[in-house]
Each structure stands twice: as structure tokens, then as C-alpha cells.
Structure 1
């Protein structure tokens, strides 16, 4: 065995170890092409070594032909690896096509004796036994050489483009690739065109083995197989948010442009995170692990604080999950954080405003209770002198019938005015009682015809010259209810009818008994139905639903006196008795108000107003 062959075989063993080591490393782009390239170069070098060992020229020629599988596949696999490593994995079919071409070339080389397309002639360099051979090349040799050179040019172009895209920390890495690639290129060009040999052998195979070793050392020195593939241009650069890659010591080994901008004038790559003013706050988070950090992180970016949400991703290698670094992804949430702060401030102000409004509401309710108490007291105080005035007017009427008949109209006018004021006071007092949460209906045994005739008589006396027609033939004789409240309902309905209908037209009061909605059942509830019909101004259609609202008055009431409380009170009293009040009206054609109250012997329900709209 000669020294050149021993060196080649030693390099082959080293290359096979590198191939095995590369295969056991964590997956990286182009790993399959890298390992196949090393195996192909080992095959080529082994064939060259055996060619130098065997003494017979025919055997030397055979092993020269055997080397062509490695000669064709090594440069092309090298180019494929660089492409996959820097730009992303190539489809599997391209690798199969490349290996197929290598096998076809190998087959043609092994049959060279039949066509002499690779070697046209062979002769020893001297007359010594086992001397190296000198080959005269055929046409296919140069065609395959051009094919191989095309892949070598492709390797140079891919690596050069990687230099242009790489950050400064990796630029020397790519330059190292380019310098090492020049070694097999120069060796092969010297052998083909200048008969350059190493120990009388083609130096290309040995140069490829040397390139594999140097390339492996360059990559492992940067720990790129463990930490970060170089193929990053379409990933990190395209991410608008800052992204940082740290090694186990907290040194920045990669940063996209957004992260570089956060560092300001300080170059981030190659420096410890704690030494970068704009990013030093992140070092505390990395040391404490993200589980101990809550909320957005504020960074000082050129004097302007900005808030970021930080995602911490550990980077592990090997089957044991050995942590070799971490990935930090920062999302700028400054605008959202400021909006949240403004929202919190607004909510705080709203809470203060709510508390102030609640305090004012309590004060208003207290003032309202005081006012209601005063009005109730004033109404009671007014009723006594009004009763005295009414009594005195009655005495004067009796005396005036004999002594001063001319005074009778004036005295009647006094009594009507007194009764009108008493009705207003009774309405106010009733409204006050209904608004009291402690109010409860009375359970009176009522003689309905008597109650209705008395109410009609009182309203007729208050409106002389007006006619109230009573129709009580179907009226129930008795019922249980709150007598003063029901009488107030009738007073209000008659008063409204007389007030808003023209003089000379009658007001009709009709009372009858009717069955409930399930009137065919013998258990159906009987109701008192009471209607008051007039031929007055009527109610506009758009306002009919609101006529029972408190303080509401129709738009066509004109200057007629009224407070808008009476009909609302009728509805509330009806609801307390478990009944309803409805209206049927036509503008200019009069109105009919119908009151329906259950004729029950039990106590009236005191929570019937629960479902009514709030006044």
C-alpha cells in the first residue's frame, strides 16, 4: 500500500464517521443530501485508492471506471445540499433523478471497452510495475465534465446569494463555504486541463473529502445544526414583529430586522441580551422563565416606552431534550395597552359617576318622599276648610231660596268650585296612597248600583245642564273591593267624558256582568264590565296607546284643565283589583272607556301591578 492510498483511505474513514455523525444530529435542511454527498465522495476516494494499490493496468482501469458513480453524484449532491440548506428542501423526485443520472453514467463508464466514449486510450506514466495510468478522454467524458461543472457553478451562485442575504454574524460563515468550495473546483480544473496530479492521482476526490470535513467543522462551530438552520430569509425577515434567537448563555445569535431596530445603534447579534440597552429587560424574563412573568413587558425604545407581549420558546436538541437556547417572539401591543388604560380610566370615571348618580337618586327620592308628605298634609289641610265652605254654601242656599233667590246661581257656582277642588284633592291623595309601597286595598262589601248612581249624581251636580244616562239593568248587585278607589275610577272616567264632549250631548254609563275568556266553562270568572261613552273630541290613533301613561295628555286637549293623572290612576286601581281598562276611540267621533274587574268574593290581589310598565 502506498502513502497516497493510505491517506485516501484514512480520509474515507473520517468521511464515513462524519456522515454517521451528521445523520444522528437533529434534523436540518438538506441532511439527506449532505450524508449522500459524503458517501458518494467516500465511494469515489475508495475507488481512487484501490486504483493506486492494484498493479495490473486492466484492474486500474476497472477501478477508474468504478469511480464514476461518485464523480457524477458528489458535485450534484453538494449543490442540492447547499440549495436545501439555504433555501428549503427540494422535492424527493429531484434527488431520484440525480441518482438515476449517476447510475446511468456509471453503467456507461463500465462498458467503455465497447464504445470508448470515456477513455480512448490508456498508458502507464513509466515502465515501473504498478505505475499510474495516463488517460486519453473521449467525448462523453467532456459532456459529463460540463454536467458536473454546471452543478459546481450552481453551488457557487447559491452560496454567493446566501452571503448577500445573510446577517453580519453569518456572512463569514458563507464566505468560508465559498473559499472551501474553491478547493475541489481548482483541483478538478487543474487535473482536466493541466494534468495536475497528487501522487500521480486525480486530486479532486481528496479535495472533496477535505471540503466535507472543513464544511462540517464550520457548521458545528456555529452550532447551526443544534440551534438554527441558515434558511431564514423567508421566515424571520418576513415577520413584522421582533424575533430573537439566544444560545444557552443568553447571547443573541439571530435577530430579524424588527429586533435589530429595537436594539437601536447597538448591533444585537453576537452580544449578550443583558448588554443591549433597549432589550436588557428581556434578560430578566429569560432568566426567570415566562411562567413568572405576567402582563405586557415595557421596553425603552429610543426614549419612547413600548409594550410587548413576549412568547418564550425553548429550543432543544437530541432525543434527551437538551436545551440549547431559546426563541423570543415579541408582539407590539402598545396601542392596545394604551386603549386598555383609557378604557380602565373611563370605567373608573363611570363608576364614580354611577356612585354620584346613586347618591343623587337617593337624595331625590328623599326629597320626593318629603314632597309627597307635604302634599298629603296640604291636601288634608285643604279638605277641612273646603268642607266648611261647602257646608256654609248649603246653608246659604237654603236661606237664599226664601230671602234672596237671585243669589242661588252664585251659591251653586261656589259649591261646584268646591266640589271640583275636593275631587282634585281626592285624586292627589289617592295617587299618593297608590305610590306608597305599603298600600293595600280595602275589602268592602259594595252595593254597585248605589255606588254608580252616587258617582253619576255627583258628576252631574258638578256639570249642570249636562246629561248622564245610566244603563244598570245587567249590573251586578254586589261585589268585593275597595269602595273609595272604585268610586274614584268612575268619577275620573265620567269627569273626562264630560270635560271633552260638547254641551248638549249625553254621556252614557253602562254596567253589566260578563264571563271571562273561558266563558263556556262553569268555573269561568265573572267580571264587572263598566263602560263610559261620550261623543267628544276622541283620541288620535298615534296617541291611543299612551293615554293611560302618567302625566300624558293628548295633543288635541287644547286648554281644557287636567293633569294627566286620572286615567293612569284608573289603570293602576284596575290592575290592583286584577282587572283592566281599555279604550276605543275615533278622532272627532268620541271615546269609550271600558273597565273590567273580577267579581270575586276573595280578597283582591295586591300584586297585580307587577307586570305593568313603570310610570
Structure 2
């Protein structure tokens, strides 16, 4: 009894009696340790609910399940302590094994997930991990039939509030060895991750390992002896301490804050490479595309970015020291040949903690750069070609200017030469008879009609065509002055805006010269007054030239196509040269109508 009394002084168990009419009294026992267990359950439940919002983080899901198991284990322990008899205590112990058997597997899964070895977590491997726990749970729930878990359970004393002492069977030892082996395996996984990490990441993992060590220390005596050191199983107490330490990691050190922020932006199947670096320069995440670009491995997670990317100094410098938001392009000379990467750096914000790291997105723009270089070369080649073409155009323009000057000079000289010929004919006419002088005058007028064309051409900006209306006006002014008809003779010129090349202008000018000269000489004799009409129209490619007068007209018996007159013979010859037709109208005076198409010099018929 002395031993029990000393324990009573330590835990100060107080019996609480509940009475009900017509029923036997039910006695429960209270201990301050029950409060500790209830607090542990509450803390574990709160932590599980808090981390649930960050369940996308590595290890978060398995941490939630561990906290749920801790809460259930603590509540079962509290119920065991208030239970009034041995059978009730055994039932509470069996209930606690609903959580106890899964602590080991969940711890290993947590370690694998948190250390970024998710490829090892498969459905088949998880099932294998849970086979022994499930079999153990089945033996625990049916222990009363076989006693393979606890062959014997006794109380530490005869008092009903005494703590039960369990004698361990073969199934218990198998489960215990298996659970501690899994705890040790998870411990080793995290320890290796801590060795590979630096700074705050290492501190976080070492703190987690310290929590696990505390839980081991608390549970080891009871697991081995089956009897508690101080009248109770200290494992829930150790789990309470572990809960407080984990709470410190979660709320103060942001255990699950950094990675979820990155996970929200990171898609593992992205074609672009993505690297997440925390505020201490450690690689938190790296997707497959980034591993392919940089040659990094899954095991590089948790290492300093400068170490992971040491093979690429420019990339390392850009990722760790590059300006946030400023795009950059770097060249990587890898085994597959040079690669150009477009680097974009974005800040990662953590709630209440400011910047929590940086998100680096890398895009392979090698092909884009290659096409850009090709486009640049094409552009330079095109510019060179355009410069050569411009140079050639300048040469052609200069040559054309020279030819234009030359043509003007030629037209000017032809006109002067024709003028000289006309002057010679005029001199010859002065020494000839009246009849010969008239012939010389007609020749002068013909020469003048051709010289006037050359004069118009070298005075015009267009050396290939002349304004035919202006030309005819000048020609008729000369003819009127030359023949000096009476004051009652008028000239009506009706020519549309027509420009003719020299091949058409010369024959048309000679035709007008001949017919208008005839009208001035013969249509208005004896002081007769009248009008001379010259009209030209164009319809499509067809020209119509009309030259007429309202004078006395030609004799009816005269065949103008077979006339002895040199002028009419010349007119018919020129019409044939134009491949046109000529018609004579004698209703009022004399009217010649010539129709022809626009033809080139090569197409023009040679005079026969």
C-alpha cells in the first residue's frame, strides 16, 4: 500500500461518485494527467485542421493523419484513466490501438513525402506497410480469445483506480519491433535530407527529429516493460510535447508555408522549367522540365541553388541574384549543344511573412533565337539587296536623265536643221518664178510642221509624247501667217486632251498641214468668208481626225484618191502609213475624216 500511497501523492487521484436512484453507484477517478491528455488531443486536432488548408504541401496529408491518430490515442488514454474497472481499461487500450498500429507506417510516408521522394509512395507499397498493423489490430481486438497480444493483464494494486500492467505476447513484440523499425527508417530518411540541406531547412528537419526522439524516449519504457514508470503511459505526454514543438514549427517557422505558395503556381506537367527557391537560397522544388534543362535530380531539393546550378554559373547567378520581374536571356552550353533560355523571376509571398522565396520559370528559346537570327540575316540580306537595287535605280535614273538631255538636244538640233532647210527653201523661192516659189512655200510648211513637233518635244517634260492640241494650234497659227487669208476666215480647233507619240504626231501633223493649206488656198476665193474645222477624238484605241471647211468645195469629178495634186497624194500615203481609212464629205464645203488606231513604230506600214 505504501507504493500505491506514494503514487497517490504524485497523481492525487480523486474518486468521483455518481448516484442514480434505483441503480448502483458508479465511481470514476480524476487525475491532473487526464487534463494533460485532453489538452494533447485538442492540440493535435487543431494542428490537423490548420494543416488541412495546406494539404498540398509535401508531407502535409500524412502529418494530418498522424495528428488525428495522436488525438485519438490521447482521448483513449484519458478514458482508460477514468475507467472504474480493469475490463473497461482493457477496452480503452484496445481502442487506442486503432491509432497506435498506424503511427509507424504514417511516419515513414510522412518522411518520404516531406523529403520529396513521392515516387516511392505507391498503392502497392503503402498496402505492404499496413499489412502487419492491420493483422496486429485484428489480434488486439480478439485478444480475449487467444491472448497472443497480452497473455495476462493485472492491476498494479487492488485499488480500482490502479494502472493496469500488461504482460506482452508474441504478436505485441512483432508489432513493436515493426513499428520501431519503421520509426527508425523514417528517422534515417529525414536525417539524410537534413544532411543535404542547409540553414533554416536543416533546422526544421532537425527539430522534427528531436520531436520524434522525445516521443521515443517517452514510449520506450512502457513499450518494453508493459508497466509505466509513474502510474501511467507517458507516450501521450511525449506526443503532447511533440505537438507543442510541431506547433512552434508550423506557426513560427512556417513549416508548411513556403511550398504551398509555390505549389499554387507550379504545374508538374509544364513545358517550361520551374525552380522554386526559398528565402534562404535553397531549392524547394524543381519540375521535370527544369531537371531536363539543368541536369538536376530529385535529390537536389533542399540544397543551395548555387550548388545545384554550379555547372551553369550564369543561370545560378540569374536565379539567385537576378532582378525580380526583369526578363533575362542566358546561353547554356550543354551536351546537346548551346541552348538559349528565357528566365522570368516572380516573388513568392507568404501570408504574414512577406517574401518567402522566388519562382523561376525557364523557357527554351533556342529555336526562337535561331529563327530570329535567320530573320535577322534575311533582313540584312534584303537591306543589302534593296541598297543594290536603289543604287541601280540611281544609276538608271542618272542614265535616263542623261538620255533625256541627249534626246532634247537631238530634237533641238533636228528642229534647227529643219529650220535651216526651211530657210534655204525660202531663199531659193526668192530667186525663182512665182509658180516655183509657191512650191517652195508648200515644202517650207511641210518642213515647219515636222520641225514644230521636234520643238514641242524638247520643250516638253515628256519626251515620248506631245500635247497634240497645243501642237495643232501652233501649226495653224504658222499656216495662217504663211498664206495670209482674208479677215473673214476663222479656224476652229476641237481636240480633246490627246497626247501622241512622235510616230503618230508627224504623219497626223503633215495630213493637217496639207488639208488645212488647201482650205486656206482654195476654199475661200474672191474674199469669201468661212470657217476651217480641225477636230480629233479618241474612242478606246481608235482615233478620228476631221479636217474640213465650209468653202467652195472640191470639184465633184475629182477623185481625191487618184489626184494629180501632190498634197492629196501625200495625204493618202500618210493614211496608208497609219493603216487607217479616209472619207470625203461634200455636203457643205469639204470635210475629210481619217480614222486610225494607235500603232507602234514597228507596226507602222512603210510608205510604198
Q: TM-score, normalised by structure 1?
A: 0.51
1:374 equivalent to 2:406? Answer yes
Please give the alpha-carbon distance, in whole angstroms, between the structure 2 residues aligned to 1:346 and 1:106.
Answer: 76
Change (3 A) 1:436 1:122: farther
| Correspondence for 2:68 among 36, 39, 60 | 39
Correspondence 1:240-389 to 2 at 5 A:
243=275, 245=277, 252=281, 260=306, 282=323, 290=325, 296=327, 309-315=343-349, 317=351, 325=356, 327-329=358-360, 331=362, 361=393, 365=397, 368-382=400-414
1:203 and 2:262 correspond: no
Partner of 1:191: 222
Deviations 1:18-68 (A, max 9, x none): 333333557534434322221211221222233233342222222222221
Aligned residues: 416
Aligned partners of 1:368 and 1:214: how far apart in 2? 95
1:529 corresponding residue in structure 2: none
Q: Output the CA distance in 2 between the equivalents of 1:166 and 1:38.
A: 26
| Preserved CA contact (<8 Å) 1:224 1:230 | no
Separation in structure 2 between the aligned mates of residue 129 and residue 354 of structure 1, nearest angstrom: 108
Q: Is the 8 A contact 2:77 2:92 kept in 1?
A: yes
Question: Which residue in the other structure is 2:86 paired with?
Answer: 57
Query: Aligned equivalents of 1:378 and 1:315: distance in 2?
Result: 86
Counterpart contact for 1:226–1:324, Cα < 8 Å: no
Q: 1:48 to 1:244 in 2, by over 3 A?
A: closer
**Residue 122 of structure 1 aligns with which residue?**
153
> Where does residue 514 of structure 1 map in the other structure?
none
Equivalent pair of 1:55/1:131 in contact (CA under 8 Å):
no
Task: State which of 67, 70, 73 in structure 1 corresponds to 2:96.
Answer: 67
1:134 and 2:193 equivalent? no
Alpha-carbon distance change, 195 to 480 in structure 1, aligned in 2, over 3 angstroms: farther
Picking from 485, 488, 495, the partner of 2:601 is: 488
Q: Which of 2, 11, 14 pairs up with 2:40?
A: 11
What CA distance in whole angstroms lies between the structure 2 residues aligned with 1:165 and 1:240?
A: 26
Query: Is the partner of 1:315 in helix, strand or coil?
Result: strand
Measure, in 1, the Cα distance between the counterparts of 2:276 and 2:93: 51
Helix, strand or coil at the partner of 2:166: strand
Q: Name 1:112's counterpart in structure 2.
A: 143
1:156 maps to which of 182, 187, 199: 187
Structure 2: stretches of 5+ with no match in the other structure = 1-29, 295-304, 333-339, 425-450, 468-496, 506-535, 537-542, 547-560, 562-568, 584-592
Q: Choose the corresponding residue for 1:166, options 184, 188, 197.
A: 197
Alpha-carbon contact 1:263-1:277 (below 8 Å) kept? no
Q: In the aligned structure 2, how far is the partner of 1:106 from the partner of 1:487?
A: 113
Separation (CA, whole Å) in 2 of partners of 1:235 and 1:170: 23
CA distance in 2, matches of 1:203, 1:139: 23
Give structure 1 stretches of 5+ with no counterpart.
Answer: 268-272, 393-421, 459-471, 496-508, 510-615
Which one of the candidate residues 420, 440, 445 is aligned to 2:499? 440
Assess if the C-alpha contact under 8 Å between 1:38 and 1:209 holds in 2.
no
CA distance in 2, matches of 1:241, 1:452: 91
Q: How big is each residue's C-alpha offset from its partner over 1:351-383, in whole Å with a ceiling of 9 and x where there is no partner?
A: 799689758846752552342232232255257
1:215 matched to 2:250? The reply is no
Shift of 1:69: 0.7
**Change beyond 3 A, Cα 1:433–1:357:** same
Moved more, 99-108 or 68-77: 99-108
Contact 1:4 1:199 in 2 (8 A): no
Change (3 A) 1:343 1:82: same
Structure 1 equivalent of residue 24 of structure 2: none
Alignment partner, residue 546 of structure 1? none
2:49 aligned partner: 20
Q: Is the partner of 1:197 in helix, strand or coil?
A: coil
The change in CA–CA distance for 1:116 and 1:194 in structure 2 (over 3 A counts) is closer
Sort the Cα spacing of 1:138 and 1:451 in 2 relative to 1 into closer, same or farther, 3 A. Answer: farther
**Partner secondary structure for residue 152 of structure 2:** strand
User: C-alpha displacement at 1:135, in angstroms?
Assistant: 1.5
- Does structure 1 conserve the Cα–Cα contact (< 8 Å) formed by 2:346 and 2:360? yes
Deviation, structure 1 residue 160: 3.4
Instruction: Assess, with a 3 A threshold, how the Cα gap between structure 1 residues 243 and 140 changes in structure 2: closer, same or farther.
Output: closer
Secondary structure of residue in 1 paired with 2:115: helix
Q: Secondary structure at the match of 1:202?
A: coil
1:204 Cα deviation after fit? 3.0
Q: SS at 1:50's partner residue?
A: helix
RMSD of aligned alpha carbons = 5.9
Report 1:449-464 matches (<5 A). Answer: 454=573
Query: CA 1:83/1:235 → structure 2, altered by over 3 Å: closer, same or farther?
Result: farther
Match in the other structure for 2:211: 180
Contact 2:156 2:165 (C-alpha < 8 Å) held by counterparts:
yes
1: CA distance between counterparts of 2:595 and 2:189?
102
User: Aligned-pair distance for 1:85?
Assistant: 3.0
Query: What do the CA deviations read for 1:462-488 (whole angstroms, capped 9, x no partner)?
Result: xxxxxxxxxx9xx866796678x6373
Deviation at 1:120, TM superposition (A): 0.9
State the Cα deviation string for residues 89-126 of structure 1 (Å, max 9, x = none): 96799889988986775454233212222211122334
- Verify: 1:82 aligned to 2:111, yes or no: yes
Deviation of residue 177 (structure 1)? 2.4
2:16 alignment partner in structure 1: none
CA–CA distance in structure 2, aligned partners of residues 452 and 102 of structure 1: 127
| TM-score, L = length of structure 2 | 0.51
Partner of residue 490, structure 2: none
- Is the 8 Å Cα contact of residues 263 and 278 (structure 1) preserved in structure 2? no
Deviations 1:511-556, CA, capped at 9 Å, x for gaps:
xxxxxxxxxxxxxxxxxxxxxxxxxxxxxxxxxxxxxxxxxxxxxx
Task: Determine the C-alpha separation between the residues in 2 that align with 1:29 and 1:200.
Answer: 39
